[in-house]
Amino acid sequence: MQSTTDIVKPAGFDLILFGGTGDLAWRKLMPALFQAFRHGTLPEGGRIIGVARDALSDEQYRSLIESRFRDVDGSKQPSPTEFSRFAAMLHYVRMDLSKPEDYQALAQSLAQREAATVVMYVATAPALFTTVVEQLAAAGLNTPRTRIVLEKPLGHDLPSNRAINAAVGRAFAERQIFRIDHYLGKPAVQNLFALRFGNALFEPLWRRETIANIQITIAEDLGVEKRGQFYDSTGALRDMVQNHALQLLCAIAMEPPINSHADAIRDEKLKVLRSLKAWTPETLAQHVVRGQYSAGNRSGKSVPGYLQEAGVPAGSGTETYVALRTEIENWRWAGVPFYIRTGKRLAAREAHIVVNFRPAPHPIFKAPIGAANKLVINLQPRDGLELHLLAEGQAQRVAAPSGSNITQTLAPVQLDLDFDKRFGSERVGAYERLLLDVIDGRLNLFVRSDEQEEAWQWVQPILEHWQAGQMPPRPYAAGTWGPSAASAMIARDGHCWSEEA
């Protein structure tokens, strides 16, 4: 009889990175894994196995990753000693993802060491997701110890998203599937949850009676760079709105969950998505603005328009900017407009949420026109909160029939909390946190299939409206805040974007 001391328990983890030589791997994933290694949070005894079609040895793969680390920000670059220790975890397997025999070889390689957790990170083109998942199952690599990570975009539209999720669901249980949205891993988004559900201060104000409108902005000052061919088949709506922006909207609008468990949080996000106002032909025409950047200036230098970028076909109608207005049809938010905008080649690189409160119902002080309280949640490039208030500015003596009165004049002031300064700039990055959560099996910051499908369901009418040729993109000069139609859209409600206030 075998004693318990003779039983070898699985230890460590195996992280298999499909697309191991790709842009995402060396730009985001490897630096994040190294930072976790440096911080001592990456479990010991792990292996990181890059998978791609290139013919590389382990040592060649390690050299390739080391060369890519030279592009990482200075403070995050490893020293030679640090990288040498980290590189011991790195391995490489050559695979053609269309060949079943290569998956069998991978299975045999992994069987030589039974890891406690096996993570399959699919960082490939979305067209390969179904192939990879089906081949993993055929090779017996979908064991109970396996977790699969799927990068966005998960589909091109609602039907393709359903097809991918159906294929993944046949091979893996929902608890094994980690649909990653790196915005949910950002420290600022975690602070958003903490702000709402860890404090009692704002909850009584978080409703239609006190909030006039909410604006979500995700702006990039760069163009498509070298990703023109990929981006032209995606566009801003698929790339940013369907996932990142709607996840931020859910975080800002959801009801308090009953606890911090993954499904409790995702149940409340799903309710928000199901409550989004349905599109009609009229609202599609009035409440959605589609744009494409033309040549302009960035930091005093001329930059090309989208149609002049490498890899972009002539006459492309792909949007690089989207602004839209929506409402959430429930008791908390009925009648409150939510504005979302995102785009490339805009005036600045920043992401923020602005909660604009209603003005005082009976003003007794003199204040600037349109002045009101607002809460700004900064997501990037800095992470923090700004609370905009009105305080006494100067007193003016005004003549009146009964004598002299003092009229108090209010002036805008703000309380500014910078989380990087408060907690230190060496905070856990989005991918670092999410990768550790996958290894530990925590699903809180990942998207469930039903909420992802609901998001596509809401976006689908916009895609169909555009495909019917109803709304060609409006041009906007690089370095601006987008088409003027976006300002006109929000102005019809009597509001304006934050930089216009």
Please say whether the dihedral angle defined by the alpha carbons of residues 472, 476, 477 and 482, taken in this order, is positive or negative.
Answer: negative
Angle between helices 246-253 and 187-197 (to 10 degrees): 20
Alpha-carbon gap, residue 272 to 414, rounded angstroms: 30
Our answer to whether residue 244 is catalytic in this structure is yes
In terms of Cα–Cα distance, which of 346, 386, 308, 315 is closest to 483?
346
344 is in an annotated binding site: yes
In terms of Cα–Cα distance, which of 344, 314, 126, 313 is closest to 225?
344
The tokens describing 307, both together, are 């149609």
97 is in an annotated binding site: yes
- E-assigned strand segments in 220-308: 288-294, 296-298, 301-303
Backbone angles phi and psi of 190, in degrees to 5 = -65, -35
Distances from the Cα of 116 to the Cα of 12, 138, 176, 400, angstroms: 6, 21, 14, 82
Burial (CB count <10 Å: 0-12, 13-18, 19+), residue 405: exposed
Alpha-carbon gap, residue 459 to 175, rounded angstroms: 26
Place of tokens 């011991």: 88
Place of tokens 């929506």: 326
9 is in an annotated binding site: no
DSSP SS3 for 265: helix
Alpha-carbon gap, residue 28 to 33, rounded angstroms: 9
Alpha-carbon gap, residue 499 to 501, rounded angstroms: 6
267 is in an annotated binding site: no
96 is in an annotated binding site: yes
**In degrees to the nearest 10, what's the CA dihedral of 304, 307, 310, 316?**
160
Name the CA radius of gyration of the chain, rounded. 25
Active-site hit among 244, 287, 352, 495: 244
99 is in an annotated binding site: no
CB 250 within 8 A of CB 450: no
**In degrees to the nearest 10, what's the CA dihedral of 369, 375, 377, 383?**
90
220 is in an annotated binding site: yes
Residues belonging to the binding site for NADP(+) are 53, 96-97, 152
Residues with a catalytic annotation lie at: 244
Residues belonging to the binding site for substrate are 182, 186, 220, 239, 344
Residues belonging to the binding site are 53, 96-97, 152, 182, 186, 220, 239, 344
